[in-house]
């Protein structure tokens, strides 16, 4: 896999502004990522030879037109899908070498997710939703930690409410608490503000960056929202499945 | 599994509970358990009690017979097990009264006999025991024949006894056409002074037991293991065939209903589980996404199902207990005995049925959930990979067949039901496909509301087809039971019409026939035909002398040892159905032809063409089996195991037998009739007929109860089938309404769609069920093949309206719920 680096474009230019980042370890490395889907007898290249590295603590926005392959890339980075070619190294682990259970284990311990559609489990309370990832890890202190995180996202009073009883913004906060509660190495977010009005979207973004700044979590988010993209330290732009500006600071 | 997983499973289970998502699955499983347990337990109890009731016709729950005095150790064993016992002895001897002699059967009764039942004397008094020491009782027939009155003396062996009672009913009147003989009854302490019972005396000793069912079972198995030469054990299984048939048929109906209820519950579970799985794809994708392993999700599913089982069991088993207790309570007076408790296996069996139904039918669609692609969180249209059809179908089918085989414990029943269900499914699929084809053709040529309806059906092609098959199966099973139940109950009522023969008359001499008929005519009584009869013992098969050791089963051995009835006829009565070999045509069959009852031939290993020898009062009769017959035991007409040509009886001294209906009003004249033909024996089978009527009534009652369970299971399937497409309909309805469709239009469209499906499913189900009823009725219940067109038509119309109504009700939200809400939730 390492030879893939050599003929790919240098995808990452560590921001000079922050010398500590340049030396921080790489947590996400994509090398020659490609994804082809077959529709009937037609092969469709959704992603084509994408390579880059993301270092610990960075915040990266993936932008691009609709249908350019952003969600596909995110899915591959998070190990939700398998590339047709290339590999992803996540927290030092080559995803290609992991089986489904290995991927699940890695996601449980190293990855957090925030989605456009919130994806909370509707039958559970906010608290139970946040406890879930910890319980999957076998954490016995799940409840205390979950309470703590809900407090931090400002929902300390809504612990026993079901997602149906929460507004979109509140649901997304629960989702954020759920994503951070395991202190993941990387947090992936696919249009986290896409379903929210501008003001609420901004609050959610603030929350994300605030939590990110306070810890060692790396933020990788897909967005159409230019303002949100600008708040990230780095932007990766996709066009028809190719990375066009491997290093762009808007 | 680690602790947190249990907790997670518990959370998920509670969550499902809260949302009511698993309710239908739980209900279906509960119903399967309820039906299987209540039916299984009740059937076990009724069968045991009917056997007990039958056993009591011989004086106790269990009877040990021997041709030697019975060993003391069994009495001790019985005492240890808390089982009561009583002794009797019976032997033949001459008695003398007023200078006249008569050969009688002497019964010596132990101090505790009878354990159940009473002796009834002709003065109307009832007695818990036999005659006191020093006195004798005589049978009513003997009293008549010898003109004995109370106070007369009778010589028996070396002793003389005063007659203290004339017995008109015995507690242990084993109803055997020819065993009815003249009897005297003495206290067994008096036997020694008669000098009649010595070493080597030919006599029958009986040890009769009664006690709690469990103790009787234990004693029975011990006795069985310890049987010695010349001893045999009898329980209620040796009942008269007339009674046994009624019991067997009721039992079969129970099992059929239980099997159908399980199948229906299985379908309901499968449908509910499918829907459940569809609705949970997102949640499982999220769980996988945040790191749940597939194996974890699978164990979660298994645990959830375990939760369902526990819940279903917690409700179903107590309910089953209540239901079967109530049924048992109402049936006990009719049976004449308290119903013994069912063995624990009946309970376990019921619970297992629920578990098997759940895991077999719900597991495949739910396991599919754990392999939902994680990418679904980003791309909603991704669904779980479809299960390999053989896996899904295979697991369900194998488990279902296994379950049925075990439940039915009757291969004919099992294969018949499976065959019928398969045929119905095929018919439904074909008709459903036809409806879809015609519907989509029509949809292109029409507009407006009808187009919406037909278009909806086409869009949900597989859903529609699945719904039609599920609805049809549910309806067909219901129709099947309705029709079979009606036929069975009718049949029982027809079988024993008010004028069913209640007397068998045996021992008439050939030259008395005309006089006898004349005497009957005078009373206004009609006989049902006089038949010659001889008693014979089977001695040789194809020239090889036989001994009882040649036979495997106790029953066959007994048959071979016993004398049985042979008759001679130029024509066979219409209810003797020839099942193998040529017709009984004197022109075509050989001189020595014999027609044999099939069951007897099977047990004794006789085949067509075999040469059979009998010893008939010292004369050898030899013949060749030409055909096998089935008898109608419920006719109460004389039946014969073996029938020969009329010429074959030339050298034999046959007596004649008939049966007749003797009305109660003529009771006073019966003694006169018997007096006129002193050598004739009249056997009163009123008690047996009453017992059969009672049994049939109880069985009919129990059948109604069991039937209700099955109806509930059928309704569950209908509900599950209708709900299976609700989500899709809601979404579609919301879009259509958002686009401007009016509520009325949508309602009519749904009514048309459900009505059409209901009509196809109902018509196919009713038709299929009619034929299946005819077929099953013929195969399983000996009912004549008949298709009931009126019921078929009624059922078809009812089904269509029921489906339309249920469908409209289940999907009423399509027009009431705000489209926005639906679209937001999906
Ligand atoms: N499994 C698949 N099968 C077929 N086509 C697919 C599949 N996955 C993605 N695509 C196609 O690949 C392209 C990229 O999809 P993707 O969801 O990654 O786009 P996106 O950049 O996230 O778009 P948007 O901003 O609209 O969310 C689209 O044209 C999509 O239709
Ligand atoms: Mg996208």
Ligand 1 atom 28, closest CA: A67
* A241 Cβ closer than 6 Å to some ligand 1 atom: no
Arithmetic mean of pLDDT, B212-239 = 77
d(CA B743, CA B733): 9
Q: Tell me, letter by letter, the H, E, C secondary structure of B276-339.
A: HHHHCHHHHHHHHHCCCCHHHHHHHHHHHHHHHHHHHHHHHHHHHHHHHHHHHHHHHHHHCCCC
Nearest-neighbour CA in chain A from B265: distance (Å): 27
Any A CB within 8 A of B370 CB: no
Q: Contact B759/B472 with Cβ under 8 angstroms?
A: no
Residue contact B8–A132, C-beta within 8 A: yes
Any A CB within 8 A of B255 CB: no
pLDDT band at A178 (very low <50, low <70, confident <90, very high): very high
Residue A108 alpha carbon to ligand 2 centre in Å: 23
Arithmetic mean of pLDDT, B148-154 = 88
Any A CB within 8 A of B741 CB: no
Helix (H) / strand (E) containing B728 = helix B726-738
pTM for this structure? 0.70
Task: Please state whether beta strands B619-630 and B681-684 pair in parallel, antiparallel, or not at all (unpaired).
Answer: unpaired
Whether the per-residue pLDDT at B305 is higher than 70: the answer is: yes
* A201 Cβ closer than 6 Å to some ligand 1 atom: no
Of ligand 1's listed atoms, the one at least distance from the Cα of A191 is 27
Task: List the one residue out of A119, A104, A178, A109 whose CA is nearest residue A145.
Answer: A178
pLDDT at residue B30, rounded to an integer: 86
Q: Between residues 9 and 28 of chain B, which touch chain A (CB distance below 8 Å)?
A: 11, 15-16, 18-19, 21
Nearest-neighbour CA in chain A from B813: distance (Å): 19
Whether the per-residue pLDDT at B201 is higher than 80: the answer is: no
Residues 6+ apart with CB under 8 A from B785: B774, B775, B777, B778
Q: Chain A residues with CB inside 8 Å of B289's CB?
A: 78, 80, 107, 113, 119
pLDDT at residue B243, rounded to an integer: 66
Give the C-alpha distances (Å, rounded to integers) separating B350 from B257, B260, B347, B409.
Answer: 14, 14, 5, 14
d(CA B692, CA B243): 6
Work out the burial of residue B169: count CB atoms within 10 Å of its CB; fewer than 13 is exposed, 13-18 middle, 19 or more buried: middle
Whether the per-residue pLDDT at B111 is higher than 80: the answer is: yes
The angle at the Cα of B223, spanning B217 to B227, to the nearest 5 degrees, equals 150
pLDDT at residue B821, rounded to an integer: 62
Arithmetic mean of pLDDT, B123-139 = 87
* A20 Cβ closer than 6 Å to some ligand 1 atom: no
Helix (H) / strand (E) containing A218 = strand A218-222
Number of neighbouring beta carbons within 10 Å of residue B741: 17
How do residues B656-681 score in pLDDT, each as one tens digit?
989 888 888 887 777 778 778 877 77
d(CA B709, CA B713): 6
Arithmetic mean of pLDDT, A113-134 = 86
Number of neighbouring beta carbons within 10 Å of residue B11: 19
How do residues B709-751 score in pLDDT, each as one tens digit?
677 777 777 777 777 777 777 777 777 777 777 777 778 888 8
Q: Give chain A's count of helices (H) and strands (E).
A: 9, 10
Helices marked H in B446-512 — which ranges? Answer: 448-459, 461-495
The DSSP annotation for B599-640 comes to HHHHHHT--TT-EEEEEETTEEEEEEEEEEEE--GGG-S---
pLDDT at residue B369, rounded to an integer: 81
Ligand 1 atom 17, closest CA: A71
* A68 Cβ closer than 6 Å to some ligand 1 atom: yes
Answer yes or no: is A90 within a domain. Answer: yes
pLDDT at residue A248, rounded to an integer: 44
How do residues B483-524 score in pLDDT, each as one tens digit?
777 777 777 667 677 888 888 888 888 888 899 999 989 888
Q: Domain containing A208 — which CATH number? A: 3.40.50.300
Q: Choose the residue to mutate in A68, A72, A76 for probing ligand 1, maximizing ligand atoms within 8 Å of C-beta.
A: A72
DSSP character at residue B817:
S
d(CA A82, CA B375): 10
Task: List the one residue out of B157, B153, B77, B753 whose CA is nearest residue B456.
Answer: B753
Answer yes or no: is A213 within a domain. Answer: yes
A107 vs B18, B291, B294: nearest CB: B291
pLDDT at residue B260, rounded to an integer: 78
Task: List the one residue out of B248, B270, B254 whose CA is nearest residue B35.
Answer: B254
d(CA B317, CA B323): 10
Residue tagged 């033949």 (tokens): B92
Q: Which two tokens stand for residue B766?
A: 């009713």
Answer yes or no: is A208 within a domain. Answer: yes
Arithmetic mean of pLDDT, B406-418 = 70
- What are the two backbone dihedrals, phi and then psi, of residue B122, each rounded to the nearest 5 degrees? -70, -10
d(CA A46, CA A236): 16
Interface-testing mutation among B6, B13, B280, B290, with chain A (most A C-beta atoms within 10 A): B290
d(CA B638, CA B487): 26
Task: Please state whether beta strands B531-541 and B564-568 pair in parallel, antiparallel, or not at all (unpaired).
Answer: antiparallel
Q: Is the dihedral of CA B738, B740, B743, B746 positive or negative?
A: negative
Domain definitions of chain B by residue range: 1-56+242-409, 62-234, 415-496+685-826, 503-684
The angle at the Cα of A174, spanning A108 to A102, to the nearest 5 degrees, equals 10
Whether the per-residue pLDDT at A179 is higher than 60: the answer is: yes
d(CA B192, CA B819): 99
Q: Which domain holds residue A159?
A: 16-243
Q: Chain B residues with CB inside 8 Å of A138's CB?
A: 2-4
Whether the per-residue pLDDT at B393 is higher than 70: the answer is: no
* Mean pLDDT score of chain B: 79
A113 or B784, which is more confident: A113
Residues 6+ apart with CB under 8 A from B510: B532, B654, B655, B656
How do residues B338-366 score in pLDDT, each as one tens digit?
777 887 888 888 888 888 888 888 887 78
Number of domains in chain A: 1
How do residues B453-481 score in pLDDT, each as one tens digit?
777 777 777 777 877 888 888 888 877 77
Of ligand 1's listed atoms, the one at least distance from the Cα of A70 is 21
- What are the two backbone dihedrals, phi and then psi, of residue A133, each rounded to the nearest 5 degrees? -60, -35
Residue B460 alpha carbon to ligand 2 centre in Å: 29
Q: Contact B247/B49 with Cβ under 8 angstroms?
A: no
How do residues B279-300 score in pLDDT, each as one tens digit?
788 888 888 888 888 888 888 7
Answer yes or no: is A78 within a domain. Answer: yes
Half-sphere exposure of B720 (CA within 13 A, CB side): 36
């Amino acid at each position: 896999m390492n030879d893939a680096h050599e003929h790919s474009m240098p995808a990452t230019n560590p921001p000079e502004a922050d010398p500590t980042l340049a030396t921080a370890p790489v947590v996400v490395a994509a090398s020659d990522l490609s994804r082809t889907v077959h529709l009937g007898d037609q092969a469709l290249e959704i992603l084509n030879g994408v390579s880059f590295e993301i270092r610990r603590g960075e915040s990266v926005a993936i932008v691009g037109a609709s249908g350019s392959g952003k969600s596909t890339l995110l899915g591959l980075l998070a190990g939700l899908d398998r590339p047709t070619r290339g590999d992803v190294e996540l927290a030092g682990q080559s995803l290609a070498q992991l089986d489904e259970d290995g991927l699940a284990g890695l996601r449980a311990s190293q990855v957090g997710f925030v989605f456009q559609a919130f994806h909370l489990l509707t039958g559970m309370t906010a608290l139970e939703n946040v406890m879930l990832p910890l319980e999957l890890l076998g954490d016995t202190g799940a409840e205390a930690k979950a309470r703590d995180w809900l407090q931090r996202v400002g929902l300390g009073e809504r612990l026993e409410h079901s997602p149906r009883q929460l507004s979109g913004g509140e649901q997304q906060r629960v989702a954020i608490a759920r994503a951070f509660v395991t202190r993941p190495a990387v947090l992936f977010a696919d249009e986290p503000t896409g379903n929210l009005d501008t003001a609420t979207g901004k609050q959610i973004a603030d929350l994300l960056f605030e939590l990110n700044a306070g810890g060692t979590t790396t933020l990788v988010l897909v967005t159409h929202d230019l303002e949100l993209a600008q708040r990230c330290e780095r932007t990766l732009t996709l066009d028809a499945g190719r990375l066009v500006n491997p290093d762009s600071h808007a | 599994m680690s602790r947190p997983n249990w907790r997670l499973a518990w959370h998920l289970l509670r969550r499902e509970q809260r949302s009511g998502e698993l309710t239908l699955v739980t209900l279906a499983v509960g119903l399967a358990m309820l039906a299987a347990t209540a039916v299984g337990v009740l059937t076990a109890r009724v069968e045991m009690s009917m056997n007990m009731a039958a056993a009591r016709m011989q004086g106790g729950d269990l009877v040990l017979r021997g041709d030697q005095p019975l060993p003391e150790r069994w009495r001790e064993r019985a005492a240890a097990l808390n089982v009561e016992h009583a002794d009797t002895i019976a032997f033949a001897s001459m008695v003398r009264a007023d200078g006249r002699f008569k050969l009688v059967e002497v019964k010596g009764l132990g101090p505790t006999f009878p354990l159940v039942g009473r002796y009834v004397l002709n003065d109307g008094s009832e007695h818990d025991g036999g005659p006191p020491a020093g006195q004798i009782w005589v049978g009513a027939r003997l009293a008549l024949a010898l003109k004995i009155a109370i106070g007369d003396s009778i010589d028996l062996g070396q002793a003389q006894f005063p007659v203290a009672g004339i017995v008109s009913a015995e507690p242990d009147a084993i109803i055997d056409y020819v065993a009815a003989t003249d009897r005297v009854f003495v206290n067994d302490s008096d036997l020694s002074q008669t000098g009649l019972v010595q070493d080597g005396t030919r006599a029958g000793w009986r040890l009769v037991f009664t006690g709690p069912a469990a103790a009787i079972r234990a004693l029975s198995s011990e006795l069985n293991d310890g049987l010695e030469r010349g001893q045999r054990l009898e329980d209620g299984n040796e009942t008269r065939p007339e009674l046994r048939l009624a019991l067997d048929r009721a039992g079969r109906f129970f099992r059929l209903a239980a099997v159908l209820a399980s199948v229906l519950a299985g379908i309901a579970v499968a449908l509910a589980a499918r829907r459940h799985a569809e609705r949970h794809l997102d949640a499982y994708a999220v769980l996988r996404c945040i790191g749940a392993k597939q194996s974890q999700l699978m164990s979660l599913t298994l645990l959830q199902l375990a939760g369902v089982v526990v819940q279903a069991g917690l409700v179903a088993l107590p309910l089953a207990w209540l239901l079967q207790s109530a049924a048992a309570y109402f049936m006990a007076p009719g049976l004449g005995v308290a119903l013994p408790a069912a063995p624990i296996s009946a309970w376990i069996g019921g619970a297992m049925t629920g578990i098997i139904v759940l895991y077999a039918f719900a597991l495949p669609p739910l396991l599919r959930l754990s392999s939902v692609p994680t990418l679904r969180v980003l791309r909603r249209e991704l669904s779980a990979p479809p299960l390999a059809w053989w896996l899904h179908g295979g697991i369900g089918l194998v488990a279902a067949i296994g379950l049925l085989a075990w439940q039915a414990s009757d291969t004919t029943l099992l294969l018949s039901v499976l065959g019928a269900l398969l045929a119905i499914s095929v018919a439904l699929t074909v008709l459903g496909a036809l409806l879809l084809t015609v519907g989509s053709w029509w949809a292109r040529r029409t507009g407006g509301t009808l187009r919406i309806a037909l278009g909806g059906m086409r869009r949900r092609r597989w859903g529609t087809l699945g719904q039609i098959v599920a609805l049809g199966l549910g309806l067909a099973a219901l129709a099947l039971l309705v029709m079979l139940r009606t036929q069975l109950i009718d049949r029982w009522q027809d079988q024993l019409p008010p004028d069913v023969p209640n007397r068998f008359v045996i021992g008439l001499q050939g030259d008395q026939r005309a006089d006898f008929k004349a005497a009957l005519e005078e009373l206004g009584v009609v006989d049902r035909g006089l038949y010659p009869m001889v008693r014979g013992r089977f001695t040789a098969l194809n020239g090889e002398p036989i001994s009882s050791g040649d036979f495997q089963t106790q029953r066959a051995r007994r048959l071979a040892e016993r004398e049985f009835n042979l008759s001679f006829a130029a024509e066979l009565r219409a209810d003797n159905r020839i099942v193998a070999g040529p017709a009984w045509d004197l022109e075509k069959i050989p001189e020595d032809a014999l027609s044999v009852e099939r069951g007897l031939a099977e047990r004794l290993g006789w085949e067509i063409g075999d040469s059979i020898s009998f010893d008939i009062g010292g004369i050898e009769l030899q013949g060749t089996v030409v055909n096998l017959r089935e008898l109608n035991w419920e006719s109460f007409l004389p039946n014969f195991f073996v029938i020969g040509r009329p010429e074959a009886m030339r050298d034999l001294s046959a007596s004649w037998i008939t049966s007749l209906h003797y009305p109660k009003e003529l009771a006073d004249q019966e003694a006169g009739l018997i007096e006129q033909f002193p050598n004739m024996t009249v056997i009163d089978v009123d008690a047996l007929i009453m017992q059969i009527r009672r049994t049939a009534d109880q069985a009919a009652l129990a059948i109604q109860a069991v039937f209700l369970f099955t109806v509930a299971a059928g309704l569950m399937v209908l509900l599950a089938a209708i709900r299976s497409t609700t989500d899709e309909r809601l979404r579609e309805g919301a879009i259509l309404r958002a686009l401007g469709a009016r509520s009325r239009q949508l309602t009519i469209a749904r009514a048309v769609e459900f009505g059409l499906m209901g009509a196809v499913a109902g018509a196919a189900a009713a038709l299929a069920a009619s034929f299946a009823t005819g077929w099953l009725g013929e195969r399983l219940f000996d009912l004549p093949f008949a298709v009931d067109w009126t019921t078929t038509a009624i059922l078809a119309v009812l089904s269509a309206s029921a489906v339309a109504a249920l469908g409209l009700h289940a999907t009423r939200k399509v027009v009431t719920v705000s489209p926005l809400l639906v679209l937001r939730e999906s």
